[in-house]
A and B are shown apart, each in its own frame.
Chain A
Amino acid sequence: MRQGLDLQGLSKSFKGSPVPALEEFSLSLAPGSCTAVLGPSGSGKSTLLRTVAGLEIPDRGSVLLDGQDLAAVRPERRGMAMVFQRPLLFPHLNVLDNVAFAATIRGVPRRRARADAEAFLDLVQMEGTGKRVVSDLSGGQQQRVAIARGLAARPEVLLLDEPFSALDPELRSAMHELLAQVREKLNPTILMVTHDRDEAAAVADHLAVISEGKLLQHSTVQEMYTRPASLQVSRLMGGTNEIPGTVRDGVHYSALGAHALPGNHQWPEGPATMVIRQERIILLDEHSPGLPAVVTGIRNRGPRKLVTMEAAGVNLHAEATASPALATGDAVRIQLPTPELAVVGGTSEHRSAPLTSPDWKVLA
């Protein structure tokens, strides 16, 4: 009976490191779900995966799979397969025998193990490469084979440790496609680590944001963007708009005036920072209804533009399509649609200081 994967209060510190790699980390994954763990580098993502796999022993806390505590279960008996950033295909085996490895270990007769492996090679669209030497394959092909090898072990949980980060963007989307197919056909519970927000959003149905070993938020992808639990999450998800103010009766009061918050949520009273995604701010010309603002900077982001504005002393960012011809100093009107608003507790502490620009005078 599948109950999914349950992580309870995992803590882990490494010798010689002042900050714990994991601190009281708890997370529940439904069977068949795909959760992406998102966090900056050094946030403990990989340690989390290795702890789940049994490669690291947690100082405290437990890993439960279908209700069974895995503390005493050695990595090889946990029914988890892991795909690392590097494919790590065994160099002494050919492609097919790599995929057949798990079966060989279990003592399955060679012929059957290979037939089984062929099926998994087909699944990752690598049919016909079985006889080849591992080093003949390209990086993307090797990673496909590594995924096939992991899947052929029939894992209940598939752990992916930044498996696509070494691939170029095109290959990466192909791999995302592949992962979607794998989920459709085999439906393993997937726990994936990445530092790429877009990848997380493309692949996973749930996100877990981790920072300094602590779980900041676990929710659906959509919620992570629209209802961040804290300023830190909002920033880690790439949010840039933070409007300090106070919440009373479901309305946020700030220098920008009163904004009613979405009614489907109980917003706590008191000082709070309102956040809104830069993609969601509506940018209009100066004769339209809305809050007046002045453009203070424009940066090109490929087909879109990131417009920096000031409205009533508050700095705001909005993504605009390229069409309106905006220039620095232009007056505009903005609208903040109620469904896109969210507040996070407390006043906005100052953002970590931006990098000071170098003193260009030395070059003169």
Chain B
Amino acid sequence: MPAAEVLTARTRPRPRTAAGHGTKARVQGLLLAVPAVLLVAFVVVGGSAMVAAQSLGLMPLVGRPELSTAAYTAHGGDLLVGVGLSLAIAGASTVLACLIGFAAALIMMQGRWCGKLVAAMSSLSIPVPHIVGAATAGLLLADSGLLARVFGAAERWPDVVGGQWWLAVIFEYAWKESAFVGLVVAGTLATRSVDYEETAALLGAGRLGRLRHVLLPLSLPALIISGTIAFIYSFGSYEVAWLLGRPYPEPLPVMALRLYNSVTLTARPEAAAVAVVTAVVSLGAALVALACLRKIPLWR
């Protein structure tokens, strides 16, 4: 890092006023973020714009650009079913992840051996790539998987993988994201919750009272944020549903990828349309989460 950087670094992080800080320094400060901003803008804004243009028929592989919503209506029914299915899978796995993750965070907060054990085990599953998680969930839950063997279930083993209820897919997301939620919530609780719990106890709050009136409200922002990130991830992720799901109906990402790789000429705009719908729902989820956060006094 250049020496000038160190120099500017020295006068902070006190809230600064324009008086102590010239325009030149302000511009320099802003310039630091430019490389990151350019890359993100190119990928996020550029990517979204291009995909929207493709979906509206403005960038056909061959032929003349022509504004049309045909790509959205081509698989109208399947698209809606896909939205519903993806919402259901993401919703179910997020709810599970939040419940299990919050419970794990509470146990981690207790310290002792059980807290340490749960913390260690949950961090173990964090660096597992989702495709590996899906593969190993298959080895565990398939009808020839470990559980079926151990329980000697043979023909009676339910269709967990590729079954009607997408159980293996939900399981994989819930497994990975519960560790994520748990560690994020434990991270926010760790700093001060012990003091607040003690204060609450001395004001007469029992275990349940502390859980409801102190720990839950204190973790709510972290729960909402990590839950939303987990939701958007499972909503827009391809490989788990592709590997552990069934061929039909398709969740949005699986449908989008199939159309994208299809040889039909009209398929590209249709894939783009599915992608746009996925993005819009994801953005909607993020906005809903932000609106919820704004209502919480703790979040400022």
Q: Do A and B form a real pair?
A: yes
Is B298 within 8 A of A92, CB to CB?
yes
Is B206 within 8 A of A82, CB to CB?
no
Is A92 within 8 A of B218, CB to CB?
yes
Is B205 within 8 A of A76, CB to CB?
yes
Q: Tell me if B258 is interfacial: C-beta within 8 Å of chain A.
A: no
Majority DSSP secondary structure for residues of A touching B: mixed
Chain B residues with Cβ below 8 Å from A76 are 200-206, 209
Most buried by A among B195, B196, B202: B202
Q: In the complex, which of the residues A55, A91, A105 contacts B213, with contact meaning CB atoms closer than 8 Å? A: A105
Chain A residues with Cβ below 8 Å from B209 are 76, 105
Task: Report the nearest B residue to A77, measured CB to CB.
Answer: B204
Residues 173-229 of B at the A interface (beta carbon under 8 Å): 195-196, 198-206, 209, 213-214, 217-218, 220
Per-position binary interface string of chain B over residues 214-246, scored 1 when its CB falls under 8 Å from any chain A CB and 0 otherwise: 100110100000000000000000000000000
Chain A residues with Cβ below 8 Å from B206 are 74, 76, 105
Q: Tell me if A106 is interfacial: C-beta within 8 Å of chain B.
A: yes
CA distance A74 to B206 in the complex (A): 9
Bin the interface of chain A by size: 20 to 34
Task: Report the nearest B residue to A152, measured CB to CB.
Answer: B203
Q: Tell me if B297 is interfacial: C-beta within 8 Å of chain A.
A: yes
Per-position binary interface string of chain A over residues 302-329, scored 1 when its CB falls under 8 Å from any chain B CB and 0 otherwise: 0000000000000000000000000000
Chain B residues with Cβ below 8 Å from A82 are 198-199, 202
Task: Report the nearest B residue to A146, measured CB to CB.
Answer: B199
Q: Tell me if B296 is interfacial: C-beta within 8 Å of chain A.
A: yes
Per-position binary interface string of chain B over residues 116-158, scored 1 when its CB falls under 8 Å from any chain A CB and 0 otherwise: 0000000000000000000000000000000000000000000
Residues 151-166 of A at the B interface (beta carbon under 8 Å): 153, 159
Chain A residues with Cβ below 8 Å from B195 are 84, 86, 88
Is B297 within 8 A of A92, CB to CB?
yes
Chain A residues with Cβ below 8 Å from B196 are 88, 90
Q: Tell me if A104 is interfacial: C-beta within 8 Å of chain B.
A: yes
Q: A88-B196, A92-B217 are in contact. Are A101 and B297 (CB under 8 A)?
A: no
Is B201 within 8 A of A101, CB to CB?
no
Q: Give B residues with C-beta under 8 Å from A.
A: 195-196, 198-206, 209, 213-214, 217-218, 220, 296-298, 300
Interchain residue pairs with CB less than 8 A apart (21): A55-B198, A75-B201, A76-B203, A76-B204, A76-B206, A82-B198, A84-B195, A88-B196, A88-B199, A90-B218, A91-B298, A92-B296, A92-B297, A94-B297, A101-B200, A101-B203, A101-B205, A105-B200, A105-B213, A133-B297, A150-B202
